[in-house]
Copies of this chain bind each other. A is one copy, B any other.
Amino acid sequence: MEKGPWHYGADYVTVYFKGEPEKLAGLLPPAFVVDPSGMCLAYVCEIVSVAEGQADLAYSRPDRTLYQEAAVGVKCSRGEKSGVFYPVMWVTTEWSLLRGLVNGYQKRLADRISMTKLHPLNPGMEPLVPGAKFSGFCVKGPEKTLEVRVEVTQKSNAGSLPAFGPTFGMRRLPQTGPGQASVEEPVEILKSNSRTEDVWTGSGWVNTTLDVGDPREPHGAVYRGGFTISGSKVI
């Protein structure tokens, strides 16, 4: 696995919603307290990622710079600090799985993640206009673990999207025998260089095998984002 920092550029289909707080609590490790608002987000995205100084990998090994990701995040807090914890984050490649685990993400491998793509030169497709519809789904084993749908109504901006604060995580290495270390560290992801562009917002719909309760007040957005992750710090 390449050392960080790691740089990311991503295209998202995201739904924001409120879950049932007592159910959401069951998705968090004891280190984190669910927010009373029940605020959540769920997204499917495609990500181009390279490690610092390794941009050339997109050329020499393109399979190691592109992956799909699907995740559900729950607004929560640790002490005074409010943020978001992702009980599961499905990805389509080994390197994003392992990189995420060492940083404290609860990553798991998807069998398949698929999402709407428009192409500006396709003669049978409309460009991105009000009314455009996007979706994404994640399949693992016999299950569709997450599906999101968004119908955009207007061009918008990053400031109009709900803010969740920093991303929390939990680094884990369980013991399996004598003499072994046991790691279970609540962390905050060290994120910088964040940008969000090409934002469109509208209605949303979400369904997941995670027990979030009945999703209320769903609304959606599609956008592009970029950021850098240098690691995570124990909190």
User: CB within 8 Å of B: which residues of A?
Assistant: 1, 4-11, 48-52, 54-56, 58-66, 94, 97, 102-103, 108-109, 111-112, 114-126, 133-137, 139, 141-144, 147, 149, 171, 173-181, 183, 185, 187, 190, 193, 195, 197, 224-228, 230-234
Query: How many copies of this kind of chain does the complex include?
Result: 4
With most chain B CB atoms within 10 A of its CB, the pick from A10, A51, A176, A181 is A176
Residue in chain B with minimal CB distance to A193: B123
User: Quick check: A142 and B142 within 8 Å, CB to CB?
Assistant: no
**Given A62-B135, A174-B102, A121 and B183 touching (CB < 8 A)?**
no
A52 to B125, CA, bound (A): 9
Q: Which residues of B contact A149 (CB under 8 A)?
A: 59
- Name 19 interchain pairs, CB-CB below 8 A, sorted by A: A7-B124, A8-B123, A54-B124, A58-B116, A62-B117, A66-B114, A94-B108, A97-B97, A119-B226, A123-B193, A123-B228, A139-B141, A143-B144, A173-B181, A177-B230, A177-B232, A178-B234, A179-B234, A180-B185
